[in-house]
């Protein structure tokens, strides 16, 4: 799915035709999204009953039941599945629903289509509220309090399933094949795509579809399914049902009992594919209680793990301790790993914070406010290009002239730029408190410097006296610049960058601000003092506040908002308070999120890259069992930490990933070892 250097644009919408009865149809494919007679009954009959649901959930051998779907459409199949799952008593498996869609409905059309089903209104409202913009890639939605994971892949079905198949894992328990009819949309029913469905299926996985086409039946048989015909719905005479060949997994088995090394490896040099799988963990320890560590602890706890969250000092006391931070992303005319991850992680974080504000986990107006954010921008050519491309995705961003921006901000400034309606400000310490308070997490602070060691099948955290502080099946290192001092990770190219913020007194003129403003620094509305900043001091290590840095922050804000220049000039830097923190960044500005490599084994396996950096080496990667890293978020941790946490939790628990493989590779800590080999530095 890699799109490096291709022009960036939103996924195209479907060309819809609405019947008098309110049934949406596709003018492009000449087919309808659901039955005109009884769409609910048809979907239940074809897909839920066809896959033996909900009966199969009662005796499912895993903690998670995974459904794959080709063609999300209006989301009707998903909502009916959610409704059936919600009606089951506990205990029940967590539901993970993976759906692909090349032409995602826009939010207004989704609402209009789902309005036809009052019985699903409660579920539909939550889906619509969390529904992602048409940004290409995978969007992970956490619904029903995090018990349901919905992965929406806005991509061509062939590309998305090939990407998932490249991991060499079998994840899916049941399939809904619901693309438009084969005669009208042949791309959804190719032999190649149906072969991917077989490759992604666990033993005993089922498949159900409305079509009875012989070509589809034969392709699914070739993909490993035992196929049969069943009675169709309504006027349709027949449908297809199938079960994947093989032994049904036994209770207590891992998510995929097939060793990755025994399956064909993806093309190229698959250093990111682990050579062996590890059993699903029941416990975890996380070192570092800042944004990255607390988000990771919460992601693991949502999966039922008992998590020990360990912090050398106090909760959110290091780089995550600033009173305010702005939810930030970046736009680009062209795709790259950096810009693609920035957009997907921003959208994921915004959804999560909106849910936390709505539930009261964090207090609206006190701990954060998604009031929107305006980014000043100087490049008029880029603004012109992206204004056109953003016209189809206004829920992500739009280009505003100074006058329109000022109306949103409530102040007068002089530049054009980007408006992000789903952005705003958050209190990092409040987020850390909320995440760390989740059920299943035990916080231990003031532990001092910690080390890790592998003892049998477990990881142990040791304090400076060598005492075991915590022990668990897996471990995550998330302690910023201190991460390089743990578990032999001194090779990590981490860069500490000093940043000093400045606190501005409440009152006029700053309290006129109605939304966040990013310039060469930032400022946001605040219930009390405003937190502005921040300096960017590479290579400096003093933790003391400096008046000259306060003056720097004041001058940058005065340049951005000239109307405030006089008020800012009266602020005495010597009398202002603020805070000093040290961002942890990487040379490529992407976080480090993923499994920790077994450095000697990885370097040996890919030693051939020293002679030819482009050489294809058909070998899997070598990693420390159950050990992961989440750090290097720089100044964008509010945006990037939650999705990185989901990535690591998915990897630890052998779940389908929340990101395309090229982005998971771009975040993997081992990338720097692989690059060093190609540059003859190792």
How much of the chain is helix, strand and coil, in % rounded to 5? 35, 25, 45
In this structure, are residues 312 and 482 in contact, taking their beta carbons and an 8 Å threshold?
Answer: yes
> Residue 634's Cα: distance from chain center in Å?
17
Q: For residue 473, how many C-alpha atoms fall within 13 Å in the half-sphere facing its CB? A: 13
Tokens of 288: 């570092």
pLDDT one-digit tens code per residue, 634-652: 999 999 999 999 999 999 9
> For position 252, what pLDDT does the model report?
37
Across 442-450, average pLDDT = 97
Asked whether residue 233 carries a pLDDT value surpassing 90, the answer given is: no
- Residue corresponding to tokens 């700053």: 510
Alpha helices by DSSP H, 303-418: 337-359, 380-389, 402-409
Across 7-32, average pLDDT = 84
- Cβ-proximal residues to 387 (8 Å cutoff; 6+ apart), any chain: 398, 399
> For position 487, what pLDDT does the model report?
83
Least confident of 34-38, 53-57, 187-191, 276-280: 34-38
* Alpha-carbon distance values, 269 to 206, 608, 614 (Å): 33, 11, 9
Ramachandran region of residue 448, left (φ > 0), alpha (ψ -120 to 50) or beta? Answer: left
> For position 235, what pLDDT does the model report?
75
3-class DSSP assignment, residue 641: helix
3-class DSSP assignment, residue 577: coil
> For residues 362 and 327, what is the distance between their CA atoms, to the nearest angstrom?
15
Backbone phi, psi, residue 637, to 5°: -60, -30
Backbone phi, psi, residue 14, to 5°: -75, 155
CA angle 351, 353, 354 (to 5 degrees): 65
pLDDT one-digit tens code per residue, 543-559: 999 999 999 999 999 99
- Look up residue 533 and give its DSSP letter: B
Torsion of CA 70, 72, 73, 77, to 10 degrees: 100
> For residues 396 and 343, what is the distance between their CA atoms, to the nearest angstrom?
9
Across 451-473, average pLDDT = 96
Asked whether residue 260 carries a pLDDT value surpassing 70, the answer given is: no
- 299 against 256, higher pLDDT: 299
Q: What is the mean pLDDT of the chain?
A: 93
> Residue 647's Cα: distance from chain center in Å?
7
Residue 600, judged by CB atoms within 10 A of its CB (0-12, 13-18, 19+), counts as: exposed
Across 603-622, average pLDDT = 95
Across 469-490, average pLDDT = 95
- Look up residue 13 and give its DSSP letter: P
- Residue corresponding to tokens 């009173």: 323
Backbone phi, psi, residue 166, to 5°: -65, -15
> What is the sign, positive or negative, of the torsion defined by CA atoms of 615, 2, 277, 53?
negative
> For residues 656 and 168, what is the distance between their CA atoms, to the nearest angstrom?
11
CA angle 214, 218, 222 (to 5 degrees): 170
> For position 15, what pLDDT does the model report?
87
In this structure, are residues 225 and 200 in contact, taking their beta carbons and an 8 Å threshold?
Answer: no
Across 152-160, average pLDDT = 97
Which residue in 223, 214, 157, 218 sits closest to 183, CA to CA?
214
In this structure, are residues 114 and 80 in contact, taking their beta carbons and an 8 Å threshold?
Answer: no
Pick from 32-36, 244-248, 533-537 the range whose average pLDDT is largest. 533-537
> For position 29, what pLDDT does the model report?
73
Asked whether residue 387 carries a pLDDT value surpassing 60, the answer given is: yes
Cis ω on the peptide bond leading into residue 534 (within 30° of 0)? Answer: yes
Tokens of 89: 């008593």
DSSP string, 596-632: EE-HHHHHHHTGGGGT-TT------B-EEEEEEEEE-
What is the number of other CB atoms lying within 10 angstroms of the CB of residue 404?
14
> For position 113, what pLDDT does the model report?
92
> For position 36, what pLDDT does the model report?
63
> Residue 581's Cα: distance from chain center in Å?
26
* Alpha-carbon distance values, 139 to 168, 340, 396 (Å): 21, 12, 14
Q: How far apart are the first and last CA of the chain?
A: 30
Backbone phi, psi, residue 64, to 5°: -135, 135
In percent, the amount of the chain with pLDDT more than 70 equals 97
Asked whether residue 257 carries a pLDDT value surpassing 80, the answer given is: no
> For position 150, what pLDDT does the model report?
98
> For residues 329 and 344, what is the distance between their CA atoms, to the nearest angstrom?
9
- Residue corresponding to tokens 């294809």: 616
Asked whether residue 304 carries a pLDDT value surpassing 50, the answer given is: yes
Across 36-58, average pLDDT = 91
Name residue 325's beta-bridge partners: 426
Which domains, and CATH codes, for the chain?
Answer: 16-258 (3.40.50.150), 278-365+423-488+598-604+623-670 (3.50.50.60)
> For position 205, what pLDDT does the model report?
97
> For position 246, what pLDDT does the model report?
60
- Look up residue 8 and give its DSSP letter: P
> For position 517, what pLDDT does the model report?
98
pLDDT one-digit tens code per residue, 341-381: 999 999 999 999 999 999 999 999 999 999 999 999 999 99
What does R_g of the chain's alpha carbons equal in angstroms?
26
- Cβ-proximal residues to 43 (8 Å cutoff; 6+ apart), any chain: 34, 76, 77, 80
- Cβ-proximal residues to 614 (8 Å cutoff; 6+ apart), any chain: 678
Q: For residue 246, how many C-alpha atoms fall within 13 Å in the half-sphere facing its CB? A: 20
DSSP string, 19-69: -TTS-EEETTTTEESS-TTTHHHHHIIIIIGGGTTTHHHHT-SSSEEEEEE
- Residue corresponding to tokens 């209104």: 121
- Cβ-proximal residues to 501 (8 Å cutoff; 6+ apart), any chain: 322, 323, 531, 532, 533, 534, 553, 578, 579, 581
pLDDT band of 255, cuts 50, 70, 90: very low
- Residue corresponding to tokens 């009261």: 360
> For position 373, what pLDDT does the model report?
98
> For residues 414 and 406, what is the distance between their CA atoms, to the nearest angstrom?
9
3-class DSSP assignment, residue 177: strand
* Total number of residues shown for the chain: 682
Tokens of 84: 């059936």
What per-residue string of b and e applies to 3-26 under the rule 16 or more CB within 10 Å gives b?
beeeebbbbeebebeeeeeebbbb
- Residue corresponding to tokens 């994921």: 348
Which residue in 88, 40, 83, 30 sits closest to 60, CA to CA?
88
Pairing of strands 225-231, 201-209: unpaired
């Amino acid at each position: 799915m890699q799109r490096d250097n291709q022009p960036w644009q939103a996924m195209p919408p479907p060309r819809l035709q609405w019947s008098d009865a309110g049934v949406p149809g596709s003018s492009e494919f000449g087919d309808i999204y659901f039955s005109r007679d009884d769409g609910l009954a048809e979907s239940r009959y074809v897909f839920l009953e066809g896959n033996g649901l909900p009966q199969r959930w009662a005796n499912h051998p895993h903690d998670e039941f995974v459904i794959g779907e080709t063609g999300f459409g209006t989301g009707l199949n998903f909502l009916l599945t959610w409704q059936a799952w919600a009606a089951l008593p506990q205990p029940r498996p967590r539901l993970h629903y993976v759906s692909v869609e090349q032409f995602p409905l826009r939010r207004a059309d989704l609402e209009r289509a789902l309005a036809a089903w009052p019985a699903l209104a409660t579920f539909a409202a939550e889906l619509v509220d969390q529904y992602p913009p048409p940004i290409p890639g995978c969007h992970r939605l956490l619904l029903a309090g995090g018990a349901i994971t919905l992965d929406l892949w806005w991509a061509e079905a062939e590309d998305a399933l090939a990407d998932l198949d490249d991991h060499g894992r079998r994840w899916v328990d049941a399939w809904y094949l619901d693309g438009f009819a084969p005669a009208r949309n042949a791309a959804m029913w190719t032999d190649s795509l149906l072969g991917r469905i077989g490759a992604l299926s666990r033993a005993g996985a089922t498949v159900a579809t409305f079509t009875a086409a012989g070509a589809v039946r034969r392709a699914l048989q070739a993909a490993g399914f035992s196929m049969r015909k069943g009675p169709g719905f309504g006027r349709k005479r027949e449908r297809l049902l199938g079960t994947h060949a093989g032994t049904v997994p036994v209770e207590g088995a891992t998510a995929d009992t097939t060793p990755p090394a025994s399956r064909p490896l993806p093309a190229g040099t698959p250093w990111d594919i682990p050579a062996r799988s590890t059993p699903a963990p029941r416990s975890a320890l996380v070192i570092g209680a800042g944004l990255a560590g607390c988000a990771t602890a919460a992601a693991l706890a949502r999966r039922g793990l008992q998590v020990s969250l360990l912090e050398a000092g106090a909760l959110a006391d290091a780089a995550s301790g600033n009173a305010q931070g702005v939810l930030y992303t970046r736009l680009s005319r062209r795709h790259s790993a950096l810009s693609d991850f920035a957009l997907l992680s921003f959208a994921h974080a915004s959804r999560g914070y909106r849910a936390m504000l709505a539930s009261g986990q964090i207090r609206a107006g006190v701990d954060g406010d998604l009031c929107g954010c305006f980014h000043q921008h100087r490049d008029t050519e880029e603004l012109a290009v992206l204004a056109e491309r953003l016209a189809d995705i206004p829920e992500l961003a739009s280009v505003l002239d100074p006058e329109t921006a000022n109306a949103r901000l409530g102040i007068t400034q002089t530049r054009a730029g980007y408006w992000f309606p789903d952005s705003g400000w958050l209190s990092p310490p409040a987020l850390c408190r909320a995440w760390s308070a989740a059920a299943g997490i035990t916080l231990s602070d003031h532990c001092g410097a910690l080390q890790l060691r592998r003892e049998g099948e477990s990881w142990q955290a040791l304090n400076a006296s060598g005492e075991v502080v915590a022990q668990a099946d897996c471990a995550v290192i998330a302690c910023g610049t201190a991460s390089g001092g743990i578990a032999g990770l001194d090779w990590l190219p981490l860069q500490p960058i000093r940043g000093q913020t400045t606190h501005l007194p409440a009152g006029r003129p700053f309290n006129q601000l109605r939304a966040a403003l990013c310039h060469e620094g930032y400022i946001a509305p605040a219930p009390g003092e405003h937190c502005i900043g921040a300096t960017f001091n590479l290579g400096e290590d003093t933790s003391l506040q400096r008046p000259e840095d306060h003056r720097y922050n004041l001058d940058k804000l005065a340049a951005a908002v000239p109307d405030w220049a006089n008020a800012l000039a009266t602020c005495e830097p010597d009398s202002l308070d603020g805070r000093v923190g040290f961002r942890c960044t990487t040379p490529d500005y992407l976080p480090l999120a993923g499994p920790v490599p077994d450095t000697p084994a990885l370097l040996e396996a890919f030693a051939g890259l020293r002679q030819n950096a482009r050489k294809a080496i058909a070998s899997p990667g070598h990693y420390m069992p159950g050990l992961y890293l989440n750090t290097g978020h720089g100044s964008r941790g509010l945006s990037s930490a939650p999705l990185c946490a989901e990535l690591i939790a998915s990897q630890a628990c052998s779940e389908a990933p929340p990101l395309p493989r090229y982005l998971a590779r771009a975040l993997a800590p081992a990338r720097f070892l692989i690059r060093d080999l190609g540059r003859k530095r190792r």
